[in-house]
Structure 1
Amino acid sequence: MNIADILIDHAFCEQKAATKCITLIVKYPDCEFLVDTLSPVVTEEWGHFQAVLKEMKKRNILLTNKRKDEYVIQLDKCKRGGGSRYDQLMEDTLVFALIEARSAERFKLLSEHISDQSLSKFYYELMIAEALHYRNFIEIAEKYNPKEKVRIRWEELLVQEAEIMKNLDVREDRFH
């Protein structure tokens, strides 16, 4: 495991997470629960980005060029088009929930298997935050759509994600 590659990729993931939350707020400004829920998440995700940069500086690691996140690109292709505005909100938030859930899982694994104790603690704390963000996105989907509809769509996305995972190359230098 190359910690430099992991930290660089992680920095970009946090940057994208903050940006995605801002995008949702801009896209759905009249959805008060969404705005109230995601506003602090934007701040938290940007704080995570800054924390990753701090960890990188401690190790003399520079931020490099951004890479394409094939996992996220493929998940975005699973979003259904059409339907109501709230259908689209559900698609957006469930895909983000899936990304956050997988991030929490990866942080847990890193916290358990990384030899650097300060990074182990860092990733454990981030695991908790990402798990909460996953729940935030599910709750937003359920606020604007029937819970059963959200559950069914979530299950469909999990099946689609499993297919994506089968076809992606496993790489040690990528977070997703």
Structure 2
Amino acid sequence: WVNVAEKSIHDILIDHAYCEQKAASSCISLIMLYPDRDELVDLLTPVVAEEWEHFDRVIKELRKRGLKMGPQRKDEYIEKLNRVMRKGGSREQQLTEKLLMNALIEARSCERFKMLSNGLKDKELSMFYHELMISEAGHYRNFLDLAKIYSDPDVVEKRWRELLKQEALIIQEMEVRGDRIH
């Protein structure tokens, strides 16, 4: 994937900017939906700021290269992931699903950033992705930890393993393209 992505770094950076924007928006939505969950509010508030800082950094990377933001593309990965997420259930079950979905997205982003940091010939951009990889790893753990606070940890682990298997199948069936992070 990284070899294909490197040939379309403009598209990768644009998609990455939108991913950071959506990550910040997702955290804000969780805070607004569950303002009574102190641990969630306390843990995700700084994540919102970090994701928005990442958005700003990606925009600066685009501009440094003389590039501009393009239109947002349809996110096939998120659409497919949404199809495997459970609908309905209690408020707690819905929260767990949302937290696990965010954890999956952050984990996959972390993996892709690692691939970019190890595989890009542009050393400056490689370092940029290395720094973001470290941050995303922390975010994915935050979502998992929150799920275990608000739901039975054994239930969360079981569902996490199920989702990892389903997400792996989604990735396998998707065409390898260099114009998207996921």
User: Which residue in 1 is equivalent to 2:14?
Assistant: 8
TM-score, normalisation: structure 2? 0.94
Equivalent residue in structure 2 for 1:55, among 54, 61, 65: 61
RMSD over aligned Cα, in angstroms? 0.8
Point out the more displaced range, 71-80 or 42-51: 71-80
User: Which residue in 1 is equivalent to 2:174?
Assistant: 168
- 1:167 Cα shift? 1.9
Structure 1: distance between partners of 2:37 and 2:85: 20
Please show how residues 9-88 of structure 1 align to structure 2 within 5 Å: 9-88=15-94
Structure 1: distance between partners of 2:169 and 2:135: 27
Structure 1 residue matching 2:160: 3-state secondary structure:
helix
Aligned length in residues: 176
Say whether 1:131 aligns with 2:137.
yes
Deviations, residues 115-139 of structure 1 (Å, cap 9, x unaligned) = 1111111100000000000000001
User: Which residue in 2 is equivalent to 1:146?
Assistant: 152
Structure 1: distance between partners of 2:47 and 2:83: 24
Structure 1: distance between partners of 2:18 and 2:53: 13
Q: Structure 1 runs of 4+ off > 4 angstroms?
A: none
User: Which residue in 1 is equivalent to 2:3?
Assistant: none
Structure 2: distance between partners of 1:61 and 1:83: 45
Structure 1 residue matching 2:71: 3-state secondary structure:
coil
Structure 1 unaligned spans of 5+: none
Structure 2: distance between partners of 1:173 and 1:110: 13
Larger RCO (alpha carbons 8 Å, 6+ apart): 2
Structure 1 residue matching 2:176: 3-state secondary structure:
coil
Structure 2: distance between partners of 1:56 and 1:165: 27
- 1:55 Cα shift? 0.5
Structure 2 unaligned spans of 5+: 1-6
Point out the more displaced range, 48-57 or 2-11: 2-11
Please tell me the residue identity of whatever aligns with 1:37: L
Structure 2 residue matching 1:50: 3-state secondary structure:
helix
Structure 1: distance between partners of 2:82 and 2:99: 11
Structure 2: distance between partners of 1:168 and 1:113: 21
Structure 2: distance between partners of 1:166 and 1:56: 29
TM-score, normalisation: structure 1? 0.98
Point out the more displaced range, 154-163 or 89-98: 154-163
Please tell me the residue identity of whatever aligns with 2:42: D
